Amino acid sequence: MVTPGAKREAGAHACEHHGPSERRACALVGVSRRVVRYRSSRPVDGPLRQRQRELAGERRRFGYRRLGYLLAQEGMAPNHKKLLRIYREEGPRVRRRRGRKRALGTRAPMVLPEGPNQRWSLDFVSDSLVCGRRFRILSVVDDFTREYLSLVAGTSLSGARVARELTSLIGRRGKPHTVVSDNGTELTSSAILRWSQERRVEWHYIAPGKPMQKGFVESFNGRLRDECLNETLFTSLAHARFVLAAWQHDYNTVRPHSKLGGKTSAEIAGQRVWGHAPRHVAIPSNQHNEGAILYR
């Protein structure tokens, strides 16, 4: 018991239940009789308290200062210390937000694709140039044919950039039925939501913390890192884009897949392969590490 109010209540309790005199009870509790007999002369603030409670219920994100401005507009202008005291006693403190708002997309269970362009998966991979500058790679995979549809490298890949790349892919291959991605800020932006509504493409967001719900693109990104990114020193962003284009061409048209019966992704897709793979040029060891292979 440290506050006068608590000592006052303890003295009243002793007098009521144990029968000592007021003097004896005050001596036992350690409080002055003057404190026990004190009666507050504070004016009644019932209307102010009630109105503040109503405003706090209507505007839950307002603190006591902004509530004070609203009260002042209605003719109630209490001292800011009194306003804070009532606010704390009522307890409508602003609750800290837990995490950001996420786009829901479609939460229907995914079915295995039975043909090309039924389901695409998207993800990002990061790497760095020899100068230390970081860049990111947008990878788009067809879950049925195991094709790398796109590998876009850039230092800034916004939602609008992703939407433009998907539009370009649709112009070359046709519209997919479903697109699968995680809950990254680029993929939950208003640009992506607007694009999916305008193109009438279902966008499926995986559950947070469940990367295996897009296991196809996660597996392919591991191969991209192991076979390409970790084996090449990128001197510039243009060099990285050229190397990625060459690796994508080789992955889709040359590399056999065990899950596809030893066939390539292009054979499963039944598409004609346009162009030829870029030729490999060895750079002298005095310019790069000995044995490093770059593309020109």
Local structure of 34: helix, strand or coil? helix
pLDDT tops 70 at residue 287: no
List the single range of 201-210, 239-248, 268-277 with lowest mean pLDDT: 268-277
- Average pLDDT of span 63-84: 86
DSSP 257: B
Q: What is the pLDDT of residue 279?
A: 38
What's the token pair of residue 174? 């046709």
Confidence of residue 278 (pLDDT cuts 50, 70, 90): very low
Sort strands 134-142 and 119-128 into parallel, antiparallel or unpaired: antiparallel
- Average pLDDT of span 260-274: 63
Q: What is the pLDDT of residue 93?
A: 66
The three-point CA angle 92-96-100 to 5° equals 135
Going by C-beta distance under 8 Å and a sequence separation of 6 or more, which residues neighbour residue 167?
195, 199
Local structure of 169: helix, strand or coil? helix
What's the token pair of residue 47? 């209307």
Q: What is the pLDDT of residue 111?
A: 66
List the single range of 32-46, 168-182, 206-220, 224-238 with lowest mean pLDDT: 32-46
Q: What is the pLDDT of residue 296?
A: 32
Looking up tokens 């694009």 gives: 195
User: How many Å is the Cα radius of gyration of the chain?
Assistant: 34
pLDDT tops 50 at residue 284: no
- Average pLDDT of span 167-192: 89
Q: What is the pLDDT of residue 236?
A: 92
- Mean pLDDT (the chain) is 79
- Average pLDDT of span 251-280: 62
Would the pTM of this model clear 0.75, i.e. be above it?
no
d(C-alpha 114, C-alpha 144), whole Å: 7
Q: Which residue has the higher pLDDT, 283 or 266?
A: 266
Contact 265, 147 (CB under 8 A): yes
Residue range 89-147, pLDDT digits in tens: 887 666 665 655 555 555 556 667 777 888 899 999 999 999 999 999 999 988 888 88
Q: What is the pLDDT of residue 99?
A: 58
Residues facing residue 272 across a β-bridge: none
Q: What is the pLDDT of residue 94?
A: 62
pLDDT tops 80 at residue 158: yes
Contact 217, 123 (CB under 8 A): yes
Q: What is the pLDDT of residue 116?
A: 81
d(C-alpha 277, C-alpha 249), whole Å: 6
Q: Which phi-psi region, left, alpha or beta, contains residue 272 (left: φ > 0; alpha: ψ -120 to 50)? A: beta
Residue range 212-245, pLDDT digits in tens: 888 888 888 888 888 889 888 999 999 999 999 9
d(C-alpha 168, C-alpha 172), whole Å: 7
